[in-house]
Amino acid sequence: MKPSSQDRRSEYITGLRELADWLEQHPDVAVPSDERMLLPLLTNTAVEEFAATHGLTIETDSDGNMAVDLRFGCITYHVYGYVDFAEHRKKGEEKQARAWADSNDMVIQPREVASTPSHADRVVAYRNPWRPGVLLCREHGEGWAGMEPLTSDDLPDGGTCTHGDPADPSDVCGRDVLIDAPQTGGAR
């Protein structure tokens, strides 16, 4: 069975006393050089609550992370939190990664994202949603508010641009929007 936090707490306190006794009985044994005992509370809010409850003074570092130190002789009980623990950890990991790269003569670079053409790049024509008979090539359809952009997937049967004067066929654009579509993202 897992010990309850109360059991664990009692054990910890007993252990501390036994450690102190043992060190006292063995004067030739060195004591640790780090006199801090760390209690992470993760958030600044938790540190503020802790400080308020025990009437202690908060110290804030240059990143805004808070800590409270309780001193018992040369031993410090260091209670600390962060503005944003996830962000703090991310920064720490990045620093570590950069240090490693530096010491191995490497640089960290963003991965090149394979460029898949976006929907906007693949637009071949525009349709007027209120007048289904109207289809415009890119040249004639661009910039009109309310026009619906279409890709070749939307036009399985192709289509021709209806821009112009319907009464005068010679004045109608008539461009096949699939064949004459400006090519993007590939060899010309």
Interface residue list for Zn ion (CB under 5 A): 137, 140, 161, 163, 173, 175
Q: How far is the CB of 118 from Zn ion (least distance, A)?
A: 23
Q: Of the two residues 33 and 183, which places its CB atom closer to Zn ion in the complex?
A: 183
Q: How far is the CB of 164 from Zn ion (least distance, A)?
A: 8
Phi-psi category of residue 139: left, alpha or beta, with phi > 0 → left and psi -120 to 50 → alpha: alpha
State the Cα–Cα distance between residues 161 and 133, nearest whole angstrom: 10
Q: Of the two residues 67 and 137, which places its CB atom closer to Zn ion in the complex?
A: 137
The residue whose two tokens read 């720490």 is: 92
State the Cα–Cα distance between residues 167 and 150, nearest whole angstrom: 26
Nearest to 142 by CA among 122, 123, 170: 123
> Which run of H or of E encompasses 158?
none
What order do you get walking across the sheet with 123-128 strand by strand? 131-137, 123-128, 148-151
Q: How far is the CB of 142 from Zn ion (least distance, A)?
A: 10
Q: How far is the CB of 134 from Zn ion (least distance, A)?
A: 11
Q: Of the two residues 79 and 137, which places its CB atom closer to Zn ion in the complex?
A: 137
Q: Of the two residues 137 and 150, which places its CB atom closer to Zn ion in the complex?
A: 137
